[in-house]
């Protein structure tokens, strides 16, 4: 998979992608992540990529021309399955969406900034708009980090145990059951006996029951 990220401040994302799972995914050459500074596509000497909005109002708007140049350059080099815009008013990111995106070959992620992008960018280029929650950040870079991490861990061979991602919360519309490790007892709290029994069938049943119980208690909306 190749992921191209267009941003006004790409330096915000270099550190998160240079550690842990995403770093291993790149080292294994399972994922390529490329950053593109939008200012490199500005048409004047001031590297201007934003301007005042028509009709008045507070806040600057990202101009269409630098974004168009960057996207068209990338599209001239390869085909893309999705061109994603990170925006608070997009579709809320969920596990099913991540599962679907992890199967793609090439994607572009455009990070919003300031008051947002000229609407014509969304009309002409964007194929999917994604939000990571009902709140506003300074830019789409943090959202892009979340999205890339969620996608990369689903790609086969990225995780040490490929079945691990399949048992995560939300994969089957349930929260994950509680998990335990050594010691067997800590400050009077013991590991459930069933997990020490070695009976894998009964353990699987217990985990399903716990997942359902936890979901009913914490996220009943998922069961609808």
Task: Please state the rounded mean pLDDT for residues 46-69.
Answer: 95
Block residue for tokens 């950053």: 35
Q: In this model, does residue 164 exceed pLDDT 90?
A: no
Q: What is the mean pLDDT of the chain?
A: 94
Residue 64 CA to residue 187 CA, distance in Å, equals 60
**pLDDT in the model for residue 169:** 64
Q: In this model, does residue 162 exceed pLDDT 60?
A: no
Q: In this model, does residue 198 exceed pLDDT 70?
A: yes
Task: Please state the rounded mean pLDDT for residues 97-126.
Answer: 96
Task: Please state the rounded mean pLDDT for residues 36-45.
Answer: 93
Which has the closest alpha carbon to 37: 73, 78, 79, 76?
73
Q: In this model, does residue 163 exceed pLDDT 60?
A: no
Residue 53 CA to residue 60 CA, distance in Å, equals 6
Task: Please state the rounded mean pLDDT for residues 61-79.
Answer: 98
Within its chain, how far is the Cα of 88 from the centroid? 14
| CA dihedral for 24, 27, 33, 34, sign (positive or negative) | positive
Delineate the domains of the chain, giving CATH numbers in brackets: 2-152 (3.40.1280.10), 169-223 (1.10.1270.20)
Block residue for tokens 């140049």: 69
Which has the closest alpha carbon to 111: 87, 128, 89?
87
Residue 174 CA to residue 68 CA, distance in Å, equals 41
Task: Please state the rounded mean pLDDT for residues 41-57.
Answer: 93
């Amino acid at each position: 998979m190749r992921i191209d990220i267009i941003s006004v401040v790409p330096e915000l994302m270099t550190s998160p992608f240079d550690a842990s799972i995403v770093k291993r995914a790149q080292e294994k050459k399972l994922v390529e992540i490329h950053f593109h500074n939008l200012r490199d596509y500005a048409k004047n000497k001031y590297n201007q990529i934003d301007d005042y909005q028509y009709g008045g109002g507070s806040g600057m708007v990202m101009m269409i021309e630098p974004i168009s140049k960057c996207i068209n350059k990338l599209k001239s080099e390869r085909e893309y399955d999705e061109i994603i815009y990170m925006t608070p008013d997009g579709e809320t990111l969920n596990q099913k969406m991540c599962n679907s995106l992890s199967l793609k070959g090439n994607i572009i992620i455009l990070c919003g900034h300031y008051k947002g992008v000229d609407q014509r960018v969304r009309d002409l280029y964007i194929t999917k708009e994604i939000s990571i929650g009902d709140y506003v950040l300074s830019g789409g870079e943090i959202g892009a980090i979340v999205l890339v991490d969620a996608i990369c861990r689903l790609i086969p061979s990225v995780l040490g145990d490929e079945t691990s991602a399949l048992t995560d919360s939300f994969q089957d519309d349930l929260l994950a059951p509680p998990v335990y490790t050594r010691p067997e007892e800590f400050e009077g709290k013991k590991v459930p006996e069933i997990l020490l029994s070695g009976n894998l069938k009964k353990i699987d049943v217990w985990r399903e029951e716990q997942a359902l119980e936890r979901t009913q208690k914490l996220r009943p909306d998922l069961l609808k």
